[in-house]
Structure formats: structure tokens, C-alpha cells
Structure 1
Amino acid sequence: MTRRYWNINLKEMIEAGVHFGHGIKKWNPKMAPYISAKRKGTHITNLARTAPSQGKSFLIVGTKKRAADLVASAAIRSRCHYVNKKWFSDAAILKRKLSTLQRYLGGIKYMTRLPDIVIVLDQQKEYIALRECAILGIPTISLVDTNCDPDLANISIPANDDTMTSIRLILNKLVFAISEGRSLYIRNR
């Protein structure tokens, strides 16, 4: 078996702008350990601290208009379920509404059970999804900017959640890891 590394290197992260946070006035004090500096009214994330297969199913949630296409293509590449238009409250529970909500929830039309892990791209915008996952006991991976609470997700990835290059980089790395895990699961089955 060849070993592949999907680690994100520091240069890639800086080029993608992952280290840019929100303005100094909009920060969450729980993000203090992940912030290294303040420049021109913006927090800078400490990237050195952020570089942190068992057939599980994943759900990727990202409803920002600019990131919707990235979410759909990443989910399709990694064969994951996705929500990229609008998160409806209780959407993970009430599957019978899918026929009328096909436009918004097309990415979960083949989901037959609750996902094992949910990936959230914008913690502030997807708060309802995070809350539902906490209630249902579904582990979450979340991109957290300097204005977010890292305690809301099981695994927090401190990164800029506003620029598409940052989101694309993180999504590509997650998709690669999911695909590798899936192929390993299929080979060992």
C-alpha cells in the first residue's frame, strides 16, 4: 500500500488566504489561542496551530451563494451528500418533505439515514445545522473564522470562511481524505 499525504502545507494555506480573520471588533474571545496577530484592523490566524475508514457517510453543508458550486462539486467528487442552497430546520429528520423541497435539498435525495459526520463551511450562517447535529449526536467538522465559537463543533478548523480560495483549498483537502478513506474501505471490505 502506498502512503499518500493530504496534509495542507503552510505555503498553500497562505496563498489561499486561510490566515485572514474578521475585523478586530467582530471577534470571539474563544478564538484567542488561534490568533497570532492584528494587522490593519484584521485578525491573523496562527496557521501553525491549525494543521491539525470505516465506511462513514458525510454531509457537507455550505449555503453561501458564492460557495454553493464548490460545495456541490466537492460533494460529488467525494460521493458525499450536500446541502448548498438552504438548510431547513429538522431537514435531517423529516425526510418525507424531500419531494417538495427537491430544489433546495437535491444533494441529500439519496440519503437513507442520518450522516455519520457533517462538514460545515460557515459556522455563523449554518448555526441551525450545527445545533441540530449537536441534538442528534452527529459529530461535526467546522471551518471557524475569528468571529466564531470553536466549541460548537467537534473538530474546528480555524480558517478564513469568507474567501473562495480558502474554502476551495480546505474542501479539496477534505475531499481527498474522504476519497482515500472510501477507497481503503472498499479495498478492505
Structure 2
Amino acid sequence: MISIDEMAQVGMHFGHQARKWNPRMAPYIYTEKNGIHIIDLIKTYYFLKQVCKFLTESAFQGKTFLFVGTKKQASRLIAKTALQANSFYVNQRWLGGMLTNWKTIKTSILKLNELETREKNGELKTLPKKEAAACKKEKDRLQKYLGGLKNMTKIPDIVIIVGQPEELNAVKECKKLGLTTITILDTDCDPNLADYFVPANDDSVASIQLLLNLFLESIQRGQNQYIEKQKKVDLQKRSVKKVKNS
């Protein structure tokens, strides 16, 4: 874990203008300064510790993660973190029914994979110019919105959200499906819409980066433990098989 001083250095305590707050965030606000709400970093530290522990435990159980964050400050970091965590992401626009209408989205993902394969094989070059251009345009569109889900074969177990006000459609779909959510909550967010959360600045790139790094480390720790567990299970199975065959 990091220290409260490190959290303050990246501006994790800076909330939104007081007039833009969500009253439900009151328990996590320390004070107001120059019209800006200041988040209580002691509480941030407490909830961050809980979230990191949950992420490690979940990864150890083999759970899958989807990172969601489409606003400019978070978009690039979301993709980078998800890829490093061997997870999935949405960082452009949340398409309606992305989870609740998974069957249709899965068909679009299959289409994307098919178009990419055809492009790699040079098949698109053999098509008439107009048809090839249409295929390329469709592939680029699907890649933009579904590129982070290409290897996702089923609905994820846990959804990590950055920028709750911008991702309300994702939040609602998670609620509808009963999926566990982890959310970075700024002072304009609603803690009642999150299962696990960290009260923190979700606009500062440095703040988002630091939090996502901690999430990543927690997930990777659990994933490594899961791999070791699987190795032991496989070793035990081979040992039993060897005894039976001898």
C-alpha cells in the first residue's frame, strides 16, 4: 500500500466544486476549501485497502475483470491497465446492452475477429476496392468500441469503473445482472450505486494512474497465486495417475 502523503501528492484529495457535489458523498468529505470539496484521505486509505484485498482474493479465485472508463483522462490508462492485468476493457463508448444483451455483442466481436483474420491473410486486398474499404471501415469501427473485449467469451465477474457519472449505463447494466462493481468515487458520485469503492479524485491523471497501478498489483498478486495453486493441483493429479498406472 501507499502512504497518505503519496496520495496527497497526486491530488487524490481534490473533489469537485462544492455546488456540484452528491450529498451521499458527505461521509467521505473532510472539508471545503475555496469552493472545492476535499476528500478525507484517511477514509480513502481505508477503502482502498479493502478494495485491493478484494481484488487479490477474487483473482486468486480465478475471477475475470472488466475495466470501464471512457473519459479522456482515463481512456488510455484503462486500456493499458486491463491489458497488463490480462483483463478486458471498454474505453471509448459504452454501447447499450454491452452486458445485458451480450449475445448480440458477442456476434459483433466474432465479426471483428473475422475481419481482422481476413485482413491479416490478405483476403481484403483481393476484394473490389469499394467492398474492401467498407470491410476496413467496419473493422475499425468494431475495433474502436469492442477491441478491449475481443477475447472475452463470457460476462465478467467484476467490473471496475472510473468516472461513474459518465458510465451510468454500465452501472445500470451491472446492477441488473447482479455483477460486483468497484468504483473510484469523486464527490459528484453516488456510493449507493457501487458495491466496493474508493473515495478519490477521478479527474486527475496522476490520481487515476496511482489507483489503477494499485488495482493492477493486487490483481496480478492474486493471479500469480492462482497459477501456483493450479500447478499444485496438476502436480497432484499427475502423481495420482502415476501411482494408479504403476
> What TM-score bracket applies, with the shorter chain setting the length?
over 0.9
Cα deviations across residues 96-142 of structure 1 (Å, max 9, x unaligned)?
Answer: 12335232110111000110100000000001001000101110000
Gaps of 5+ in 2: 48-59, 113-137, 231-246
Shift of 1:21: 0.4
Shift of 1:68: 1.3
CA distance in 1, matches of 2:84, 2:7: 22
1:16 maps to 10
User: Structure 1 counterpart of 2:87, which letter?
Assistant: C
The answer to whether residue 40 in structure 2 is matched with residue 46 in structure 1 is yes
Gaps of 5+ in 1: 1-6
1:3 maps to none
- The structure with the greater share of residues assigned to helix is 2
User: Structure 1 counterpart of 2:94, which letter?
Assistant: W
The answer to whether residue 108 in structure 2 is matched with residue 97 in structure 1 is yes
Cα deviations across residues 51-95 of structure 1 (Å, max 9, x unaligned)?
Answer: 222010000001012321111111111111011111101112132
The answer to whether residue 68 in structure 2 is matched with residue 68 in structure 1 is no
CA RMSD of aligned residues (A): 1.0
User: Structure 2 counterpart of 1:74, which letter?
Assistant: T
2:176 maps to 135
**Which of residues 170, 174, 179 is equivalent to 2:215?**
174
1:87 maps to 94
CA distance in 2, matches of 1:150, 1:48: 17
**Which of residues 192, 199, 218 is equivalent to 1:151?**
192
**Which of residues 162, 169, 173 is equivalent to 1:121?**
162
Bigger Cα Rg: 2
Secondary structure of 2:31's aligned partner: strand
Secondary structure of 1:21's aligned partner: strand
CA distance in 1, matches of 2:31, 2:108: 47
CA distance in 2, matches of 1:25, 1:67: 24
- 8 Å Cα contact 2:73-2:203 kept in structure 1: no
1:4 maps to none
- 8 Å Cα contact 2:185-2:202 kept in structure 1: yes
User: Structure 1 counterpart of 2:107, which letter?
Assistant: R
